[in-house]
C-alpha cells in the first residue's frame, strides 16, 4: 500500500480492561515516529542484527529451550489464557528465536523491520514496526468480537475474520491489524520502504516485564536517533496506565 503523505493527527492506543483482567502483567511499550524515510539497509542496524543472531547461535538453544525461556514461557501461558495453542501459533519472539536458534540468518527486509528483529532477538520480546499511515483516531488491543476484517500479510485480497476472543489490534473502522495477539500483523500495517508514519511496539507478559520493555525501547530509541530527524518519547501502557496518546502535536519530538 503506497502512502506518499502519511496521515497527521493523534492516535490513542488503549489496552482493553477485559484483556488486563485476564493477563494483568501485560505491558505495551510504544514509540511514535511521525515521519521517517525507511531505507533498504542502515549500517548500524545491520551490525546490530548480525550481533543478535550471533549471540543466539552461540547459545545452541533447542526448540524446547526457546519455549522455556522466561519471557517466551510467559507468552505461551498468556496465549493459553485466550484459548490459543502456542505450539501452533507461537508469539512473534518465539518464532524469530526458533528460526535463528537452528543456525539460520533472518532475511534482511529494511532498516526498520531489521531493527525490530534485532531488538526482539536480544530482548526475547515481541517487537514490531507498524505503518499507521492509514489509521486514525484509536487503536485498541483487545479480544476480538469476530466480525473485524483482517487482511493477511502478503495476501490482502483474501480477507479473514479473527476468532471471537483472540487478542487483536483493532482500529475504529472495524479492522484487525494482528492475529492471535502478535503472531501475525496485517498487510495494512506492514512496514515497506519509503516515507512512513510508524508506531514501534514492544510487548511483555512476564514478571519484570516493564523493566524489560523500557530497556528495549531505549535500545530502539538510540538507533532511531541516527535514522530520523525526530521521534517522540516512548510511552508504556500497563494496568495502571492502559491508554496513551501518540503523535500528539503537543508532544515535542526528540530530534537527533
* DSSP H helical ranges for 6-107: 17-20, 43-59, 63-68, 70-81, 92-101
pLDDT of residue 103: 96
Ramachandran quadrant class, 247 (left: phi over 0; alpha: psi -120 to 50; beta: rest)? left
Which among 122, 126, 106 is positioned nearest to 41, based on CA atoms?
Answer: 106
**d(C-alpha 112, C-alpha 39), whole Å:** 8
CATH code of domain 11-247: 3.50.40.10
pLDDT, averaged in runs of 10, over the chain (256 residues): 60 98 98 97 98 98 98 98 98 98 98 98 98 96 98 98 98 98 98 98 98 98 92 97 90 52
Give the pLDDT confidence score for residue 6 in this predicted structure.
Answer: 55
pLDDT at 151 (0 to 100): 98
What sign has the CA pseudo-torsion 232, 234, 238, 240?
negative
pLDDT of residue 8: 78
* pTM > 0.85: yes
Neighbouring residues of 43: CB distance < 8 A, sequence distance ≥ 6: none
The helices-and-strands tally (H runs, E runs) of the chain is 7, 14
Determine the Cα–Cα distance for residues 232 and 197; give it in Å rounded to an integer. 12
Amino acid at each position: 500500500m503506497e502512502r506518499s503523505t502519511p496521515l497527521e493527527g493523534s492516535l490513542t492506543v488503549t489496552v482493553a480492561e477485559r484483556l488486563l483482567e485476564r493477563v494483568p502483567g501485560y505491558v505495551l511499550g510504544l514509540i511514535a515516529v511521525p515521519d521517517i524515510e525507511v531505507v533498504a539497509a542502515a549500517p548500524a542496524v545491520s551490525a546490530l542484527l548480525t550481533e543478535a543472531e550471533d549471540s543466539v547461535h552461540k547459545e545452541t538453544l533447542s526448540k524446547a529451550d526457546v519455549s522455556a525461556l522466561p519471557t517466551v514461557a510467559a507468552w505461551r501461558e498468556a496465549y493459553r489464557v485466550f484459548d490459543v495453542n502456542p505450539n501452533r501459533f507461537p508469539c512473534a519472539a518465539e518464532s524469530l528465536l526458533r528460526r535463528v536458534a537452528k543456525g539460520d540468518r533472518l532475511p534482511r527486509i529494511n532498516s526498520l523491520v531489521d531493527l525490530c528483529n534485532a531488538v526482539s532477538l536480544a530482548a526475547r520480546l515481541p517487537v514490531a514496526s507498524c505503518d499507521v499511515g492509514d489509521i486514525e483516531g484509536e487503536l485498541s488491543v483487545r479480544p476480538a468480537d469476530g466480525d473485524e476484517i483482517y487482511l493477511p500479510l502478503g495476501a490482502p485480497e483474501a480477507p479473514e475474520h479473527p476468532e471471537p476472543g483472540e487478542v487483536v489490534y483493532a482500529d475504529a473502522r472495524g479492522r484487525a491489524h494482528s492475529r492471535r495477539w502478535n503472531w501475525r500483523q496485517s498487510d495494512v500495517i506492514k512496514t515497506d520502504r519509503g516515507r512512513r508514519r510508524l508506531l514501534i511496539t514492544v510487548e511483555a507478559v512476564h514478571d519484570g516485564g516493564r523493566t524489560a520493555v523500557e530497556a528495549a525501547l531505549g535500545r530502539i530509541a538510540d538507533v532511531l536517533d541516527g535514522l530520523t530527524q525526530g521521534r517522540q518519547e516512548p510511552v508504556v501502557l500497563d494496568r495502571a496506565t492502559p491508554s496513551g496518546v501518540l503523535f500528539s502535536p503537543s508532544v515535542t519530538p526528540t530530534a537527533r
